[in-house]
């Protein structure tokens, strides 16, 4: 299995631009998580999907952030407009079907720099 | 809301020494997981503890879940340079739909 696949691995953009991060979970995993990691705030859960339905989006910072999961094999996290404080590593993680307590498999992350 | 606190934030260890990192939750946990993140890498699952008072070992790593299921520890013996990285605990409460709340992590630096 290829694991959780994220793209792009690195993105540098200017303030005000739209950013779209993509994630393909492991096949058969029906739970998907988006985390943001910074030195100051550590690993923050942004949103959590179960069977493509957002279960908890309380971690989404503000209306500039949106996430979708149109099908079981694809999710996007969009920031519009982006701001310098959005600079971080964004991780997508997935979990095996039927396991509310199983391990998370993380992708390699998307490092976002907003100038 | 649920808070997971982890100490220490940094740990500088001489190769061959032991160290322990601690994790405390403000609420009772259904289970707790530990992850390791190497510099520049992504978190990788190490272990999950479910039962009150549970102790699990992985070679030089010993994981413990408290009796009240509100705290946990990771003890590493005879530290090696390969142990470098950040160790995170992540707690799951019974009413959180399986959502993991990560601690801030303990960043471990090993001196040869």
Asked if residue B1 has pLDDT above 90, the reply is no
Q: Please report which confidence band the pLDDT of residue A104 belongs to, taking 50, 70 and 90 as the band edges.
A: very high
CA distance A86 to B111: 34
Take residue B90 and report the two structure tokens written for it: 């992540």
Least confident of A41-55, A97-111, B96-110: A97-111
Q: Please report which confidence band the pLDDT of residue A110 belongs to, taking 50, 70 and 90 as the band edges.
A: very high
Specify the pLDDT at position B3.
83
Convert A64-112 into a string of H (helix), E (strand) and C (coil). Answer: CEEEEEEECCEEEEEECCCCHHHCEEEEEEEEECCCCCCCCEECCCEEE
Take residue B49 and report the two structure tokens written for it: 């503890």
Specify the pLDDT at position A60.
93
pLDDT tens across B31-55, in order?
999 999 999 999 999 999 999 999 9
Place of tokens 């259904």: B30
Average pLDDT over residues A100-114: 90
CA A24 to chain B, closest CA, distance in angstroms equals 16
pLDDT tens across A75-103, in order?
999 999 999 999 999 999 999 866 655 88
pLDDT tens across A45-81, in order?
999 999 999 988 989 988 999 999 999 999 999 999 9
CA B77 to chain A, closest CA, distance in angstroms equals 24
Picking from B33, B44, B104, the nearest residue to A42 by CB comes out as B104
- Chain B residues 60-89 with CB within 8 Å of chain A: 88
Average pLDDT over residues A14-25: 98
Radius of gyration from C-alpha coordinates of chain B:
13
């Amino acid at each position: 299995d290829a694991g959780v696949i994220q793209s792009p691995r690195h993105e540098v953009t200017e303030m005000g631009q739209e950013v779209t991060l993509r994630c393909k979970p492991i096949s058969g995993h029906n739970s998907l998580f988006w985390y943001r990691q910074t030195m100051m705030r550590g690993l923050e859960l942004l949103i959590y999907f179960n069977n493509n339905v957002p279960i908890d989006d309380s971690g989404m910072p503000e209306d500039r952030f949106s996430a979708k999961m149109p099908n079981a094999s694809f999710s996007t996290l969009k920031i519009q407009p982006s701001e310098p404080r959005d600079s971080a590593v964004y991780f997508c993680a997935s979990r095996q079907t039927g396991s509310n307590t199983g391990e998370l498999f993380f992708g390699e992350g998307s490092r976002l720099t907003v100038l | 809301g649920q808070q997971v606190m982890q100490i220490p934030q940094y740990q500088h260890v001489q190769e061959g020494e032991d160290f322990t990192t601690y994790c405390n939750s403000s609420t009772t946990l259904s289970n707790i997981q530990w992850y390791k993140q190497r510099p520049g890498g992504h978190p990788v699952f190490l272990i999950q503890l479910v039962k009150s008072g549970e102790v699990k070992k992985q070679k030089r790593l010993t994981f413990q879940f408290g009796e009240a299921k509100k705290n946990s520890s990771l003890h590493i013996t005879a530290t090696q340079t390969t142990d470098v990285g950040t160790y995170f605990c992540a707690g799951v409460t019974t009413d959180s739909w399986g959502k993991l709340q990560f601690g801030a992590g303990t960043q471990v630096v090993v001196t040869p």
